[in-house]
Structures are given as structure tokens and as C-alpha cells.
Amino acid sequence: MSAVEPSPGRVPSQSRTDAELVAALRADDGSALGALYDRHGGLVYGVALAILRSPQEAEDLTQEVFVALCGHLGYDAARGELAGFLVTATRSRAIDRVRSRGRHLRLLRRWHETAPAGASPATPLQNVSTKQRTERVRVALTELSEREREVLELAYFQDLTQSEIADRLGAPLGSVKSWARRGLLSLRDNLQDLVG
């Protein structure tokens, strides 16, 4: 059986430059992402693992960086090699995750320090009430636009500032502020009886 020949006019992935593969990726050539991942995936994973010290988080971040390369991650071949760009993007995102971990730990410590000592366990009625409120909040969140929900989740669950959210989403800061405001106003209107 003979080797599979590339289709006419198509250059095999291994002989294409990074810039050519990125251009092909932007033109919806599905094989380009695989070729770029094969070429640079180990490097990105290594940088992520060195900073995050967690194989699972490093895998997640590696995937995130390559998915972003398909979308809004603005690589420009005129500004340098793709490998350097990927290392910088990975390092920046990994550091953001480490900072976020630190914020979460500080919030948990503060919560633990302010929680009343020896508080009695919740009654069955209190548990039902809490579950009902949780469900109401969940439903209210589903009524938000995808961007509004994403911005609020990044702000409240990952403790990111609006500037950090704008960087993460590749969106203008003004748009992030608008999404956050509209989302909060919508939640306030939908949950007014719970907070008032």
C-alpha cells in the first residue's frame, strides 16, 4: 500500500511554517491546530506545569491557550516567533491562576475567621429554604446573556478585577463594565424579594 499523497495545492503540515499554519488555522483548516499542538504542545504544557505545579491545571491551561489561538489570541508573525508568543501567553495565564488561588485562600481564611464559633447546625427548614434560594439564583443566572454570566462568574468566583476580565476575554474594558452592570441589575430585579 502506498503512502497517502497530500491533495493538490496542499502542503503537508510538517513542512509548513508556524505562520503558515496559523494562517491556515484562521482559514478554518482543522489540521493546522493539530500540527501546531504537536509542534508546541509540550513547550506550553511544560511552562504551565512549572508555574502551576499541577498536571491537571497545566493540561487545562494548555488546552485553553491552544483554543484561544483559534479565536481572539492575537498572534502576529511580524512580531516574533510563535513559540515565544505561546510561552508568554501561557506564563501570563498561569500567573493569573496562581494569583487567583491566593485570593481564594485569603477569602476562605477571612470567612473562617469571621464565622461564628460553635454555630448550631441548620435545621431542616433552614436547609429547604437555602436550597430554594440557591435554585432561584441558579434560574436567575440562566436568564442572563452568556457574556453577562461569564463576567459575573469571573468576578465573583475567580475574584478577577474588571481589567483582568477584559484581558482574559480579549474584550474592551467598557464592554466588561456594561456586561457586569446589566447582569447585576437583572439579578437585582429577579431576586429583589431575596435581598430586600
Alpha carbon distance 165, 177 (integer Å): 10
Q: Are residues 60 and 102 in the same domain?
A: yes
- pLDDT of res. 39: 95
Assess if residue 196 is contained within a domain. yes
Assess if residue 86 is contained within a domain. yes
Nearest by Cα to 22 from 73, 93, 90, 92: 73
Q: Are residues 176 and 138 in the same domain?
A: yes
- pLDDT of res. 68: 85
Q: Are residues 27 and 77 in the same domain?
A: yes
Q: Are residues 23 and 95 in the same domain?
A: yes
Residue-averaged pLDDT of the chain: 80
Q: Residue 147: which CATH number?
A: 1.10.10.10
Q: Are residues 106 and 153 in the same domain?
A: no
pLDDT in tens, 77-130: 778 899 999 999 999 999 988 887 777 667 666 666 665 655 556 677 776 777
Domain boundary pick from 89, 115, 141 = 115
Kindly report the number of other CB atoms within 10 A of residue 147's CB atom. Answer: 17
- pLDDT of res. 72: 59
Query: How many structural domains does the chain have?
Result: 2
Global pTM value: 0.50
pLDDT in tens, 133-173: 777 877 887 888 888 888 888 887 888 888 888 888 888 88
Assess if residue 110 is contained within a domain. yes
Q: Residue 22: which CATH number?
A: 1.10.1740.10
Confidence of residue 183 (pLDDT cuts 50, 70, 90): confident
Lowest mean pLDDT among 56-60, 61-65, 84-88, 183-187: 183-187
Residue 41 carries which side chain, given as an amino acid letter?
A: G
Assess if residue 5 is contained within a domain. no
Q: Are residues 107 and 148 in the same domain?
A: no
| Position with higher pLDDT, 45 vs 7 | 45
- pLDDT of res. 118: 57
Q: Are residues 19 and 79 in the same domain?
A: yes
Q: Residue 23 is part of which domain span? A: 13-115
Nearest by Cα to 94 from 36, 56, 51, 135: 51
Confidence of residue 5 (pLDDT cuts 50, 70, 90): very low
- The mean per-residue pLDDT over the stretch 65-81 comes to 79
- Please state whether 44 falls in left (phi above 0), alpha (psi between -120 and 50) or beta: alpha
